[in-house]
Chain A
Amino acid sequence: MRSVALKTARRAGRRRSRRFTRRDLAVLVVLLGIPVLLDIVIIWGPTLASIGLSFTSWDGIGDIHWVGGENYRNLVDNYPPFWPAVRHNLLWLAFLGLIATPFGLLLAVLIDRGVRFSRFYQSTLYMPVVLSLAVVGFMAQLILGTDQGVVNTILNNHENPIDWLGDSDLNIWMMMLAASWRHTGYVMILYLAGLKSVDPTLKEAAAIDGANARQTFFRVVFPTLRPVNVIVGVITVIESLRAFDIVYAVNKGRNGLELLSVLITDNVIGEASRIGFGSAIAVVLLTVSLGFIVTFLVQELRGARDR
């Protein structure tokens, strides 16, 4: 113990004379340099490459031809799945943001107030979160399949089955429901943790001041949950923009289930290999994501300054 204390003292003394020793610098360079390098190579490299490739025509084998904004023009008015995909992504965001997330909050509040068997509900609702969305997609197929699905078997509508996953007006809603099943549990756990940390004296004070239950929640408890709200908001946006696996598991993201992520995969990775064109779609998704990221960062930085 004593030797450690001595060493620390000695080190502190040296630090005062020269801010960083050579060893400190080396450690700093290595520990900072590696993540920065990884960040550049793994994240910024491919991002910039995508942006560059989006102005070219390339099949992944031969030469790369510069085509300017041709891919974007084509995307907007000569690629039928593009606008539906944009619509579906936004719909997904709205559904998770306006329905699944508030529902998760509601469940958290109910459980937090101590209903009977709350442990049981808590674990049941949280269970789907451990499943990958691809698995949720397979389960949706077992439940909603046209010929052999559970729902249609129960409805016994053999003559005129409801095509839950094949009807392009219906299937996106089914997918969003399935995705929400998982998302709700996730949001619930986050809020539950947040609610547990709310100081009970705040509620007592509000009660003494004559606030009713609703006022207490919206005026007192909810504002103190701000850090959780931010996290939940970020998660909701991420979940809706990266939605891919569930629709890909169901029907490869076709016929009413088009999403930007699916179109990128189809064009870049599939046998088609329209890499330039696919990159252009990727850039669109990047722009949308950047919009959210920038808003979030600005909010956070401003919040940090105010605090």
Chain B
Amino acid sequence: MSRRGLLRGAAVGAGALTLPALLTACGDGPGGDKKTVTVGSNSSDAVPKKAFAAAFTAYEKKSGKKVDVNTTDHNEFQTNITRYLQGTPDDVFMWFAGYRMQYFAEKGLLTDVDDVWKGFKGFSQALKDQSTHDGKQYFVPYYYYPWAVFHRKSLFEKQGYEQPKNWDDFIALAKQMHKDGTPVAFCDKDGWPAMGTFDYINMRLNGYDFHKGLMAGTEAWTDTKVKKVFDLWRELMPYYQKGALGRTWEEAAQGLQKRQTGMAVFGMPHPGQQFPENERADIDFFAFPEIDPQYGQDAVEAPIDGFLIAKKAKNVEAGKALLKYLGTPGAEDIYLAGDPNNVAVNDGADTSKYTPLQKKSAELVSGAKQISQFMDRDTRPDFAQTVMIKALQDFIGNPNDIDGLVNRIERQKKEIFSSAVS
């Protein structure tokens, strides 16, 4: 056999192997089937994944349709969202409420679900606002979780700590904790956990409307109001545990669990997922303390997660049918039975099985005058990702150069917000 013959044989062989694969790739994949609805899920953590599966199984039983879930790693899903929505998205996908949803609605990547919303009962006006863009609803809320200051009940009892109501008491408590060898837990290796503290100090000091304006780019970061936020935050810095920039939120929550730290500004699922099941009853929280009495503790940071339909979804009807079900209190009950680290959004949901912590969370959120989402959900993703993560980490690394910091933020903000969203 000659060399050429061998080469030709190899080429033909390779073609024979790849061609069928190419042909099947061109064919119609899953999704054309009217009895199946596909769901793009970012719930890659074990607890929520299982809880979602229970909710979808319940829908399959009720409707006789099949729910096909494609789970992607949580952070990866976020990173790829732009390409996901422009490629071949699933019929329904999981995402966040507020500006982070409105941004994609503005860009025309979402299908509005007005008609589904018309049949909904039990959603508050605040929830509807968070689901709305330009007068149309694009989002079906499913659950939310409040941010607050979390701690171990037993540690507070043992040390005789009192839950502080205002900033001075809060600082005094932090100081005491630091002295007792259990400093305030703090972490920002992931880039987002510190945003919660910034948001809360800002909303307590300057009010929810200022937070909104600042996130929307209409208020200036060089405003003395913003500098004051950083100044106040700096008061807390000496009482934090050291090395925040090298610590993930998981490690910080585990430190809280091991009684190495006294308290932490967290979202409800963060300590919840890191505490062993038999110690979860020991978790308690208090609302972020009051700074300016004018704003009291009115605003609560409570990110809402839920479901949407992409513009490019193949099977919009099936997607809407699923959303209709997911907006019912019953569907939320099934989920929360599997994941007790969140709170139902629907007033009709069954709260009798709530843990005391869930009850307290529900009260905190329902008592709130305004609900914010979170810095990276209330502002443009390009601004949150490329400017604010670095800015807050810079501040934590060097809390003294506030003027330089806010100037840098403002200049970058002007640049980014000068390019239109649509």
Which residues of A, 143-189, contact B by the 8 Å Cβ criterion?
A: 145-148, 158-168, 171
Which residue of A is nearest B247, CB measured? A146
B153 contacts A by Cβ under 8 Å: no
Question: Once the chains are docked, how many angstroms separate the CA of A163 from the CA of B397?
Answer: 11
- 10 pairs of A and B residues whose beta carbons are closest in the complex: A166-B246, A166-B245, A163-B243, A272-B382, A146-B246, A146-B243, A271-B381, A272-B385, A163-B246, A255-B393
Known contacts: A61-B107, A166-B244. The answer to whether A81 contacts B79 by CB under 8 A is no
Listed stretches B80-88, B211-219, B274-282, B286-294; interface member: B80-88
Query: Are the CB atoms of B83 and A254 closer together than 8 Å?
Result: no
Task: Tell me which residues across on chain B come within 8 A of A252, comparing CB atoms.
Answer: 191
Question: Once the chains are docked, how many angstroms separate the CA of A147 from the CA of B252?
Answer: 9
Listed stretches A43-51, A72-80, A299-307; interface member: A72-80
Query: Are the CB atoms of A164 and B79 closer together than 8 Å?
Result: no
Q: How large is the interface on B (under 10, 10 to 19, 20 to 34, 35 or more residues)?
A: 35 or more
Contact with A along B207-247 (1 / 0, CB 8 A): 00000000000000000000000000000000000111111
Would you give the shortest CB distance from A215 to chain B, in whole angstroms? 48
A274 contacts B by Cβ under 8 Å: yes
Query: Which residue of A60, A74, A164 is within 8 Å of B246 (Cβ)?
Result: A164
Known contacts: A61-B82, A78-B412, A267-B386. The answer to whether A254 contacts B381 by CB under 8 A is no
Which residue of A is nearest B81, CB measured? A271
Query: Are the CB atoms of A266 and B385 closer together than 8 Å?
Result: yes
Which residue of A is nearest B422, CB measured? A62
Task: Tell me which residues across on chain B come within 8 A of A61, comparing CB atoms.
Answer: 82, 86, 107-109
B255 contacts A by Cβ under 8 Å: yes
Known contacts: A74-B415, A163-B245. The answer to whether A271 contacts B385 by CB under 8 A is yes
Query: Are the CB atoms of A27 and B246 closer together than 8 Å?
Result: no
Identify whether the interface residues of B are mostly helix, strand, loop, or mixed: helix
B158 contacts A by Cβ under 8 Å: no
Task: Tell me which residues across on chain A come within 8 A of B251, comparing CB atoms.
Answer: 145-148
B179 contacts A by Cβ under 8 Å: no
Would you give the shortest CB distance from A261 to chain B, in whole angstroms? 15
B2 contacts A by Cβ under 8 Å: yes
Query: Are the CB atoms of B242 and A163 closer together than 8 Å?
Result: yes
Would you give the shortest CB distance from A58 to chain B, in whole angstroms? 9
B24 contacts A by Cβ under 8 Å: no
A224 contacts B by Cβ under 8 Å: no
Would you give the shortest CB distance from A165 to chain B, in whole angstroms? 5
Task: Tell me which residues across on chain A come within 8 A of B385, comparing CB atoms.
Answer: 266, 270-272
A57 contacts B by Cβ under 8 Å: yes
Would you give the shortest CB distance from B225 to chain A, in whole angstroms? 22
A269 contacts B by Cβ under 8 Å: yes
Query: Which residue of B82, B108, B191 is within 8 Å of A273 (Cβ)?
Result: B82
Query: Are the CB atoms of A266 and B386 closer together than 8 Å?
Result: yes
Which residues of A, 18-40, contact B by the 8 Å Cβ criterion?
A: 27
Would you give the shortest CB distance from A37 to chain B, in whole angstroms? 16
Would you give the shortest CB distance from B394 to chain A, in whole angstroms? 7
Known contacts: A61-B107, A251-B189, A266-B385. The answer to whether A79 contacts B412 by CB under 8 A is yes
Task: Tell me which residues across on chain A come within 8 A of B82, comparing CB atoms.
Answer: 59-61, 271, 273
Question: Once the chains are docked, how many angstroms separate the CA of A251 from the CA of B181?
Answer: 28
Contact with A along B116-156 (1 / 0, CB 8 A): 00000000000000000000000000000000000000000
Query: Are the CB atoms of A60 and B244 closer together than 8 Å?
Result: no
Would you give the shortest CB distance from A57 to chain B, in whole angstroms? 5
Which residues of A, 70-128, contact B by the 8 Å Cβ criterion?
A: 74, 78-81
Question: Once the chains are docked, how many angstroms separate the CA of A206 from the CA of B246?
Answer: 54
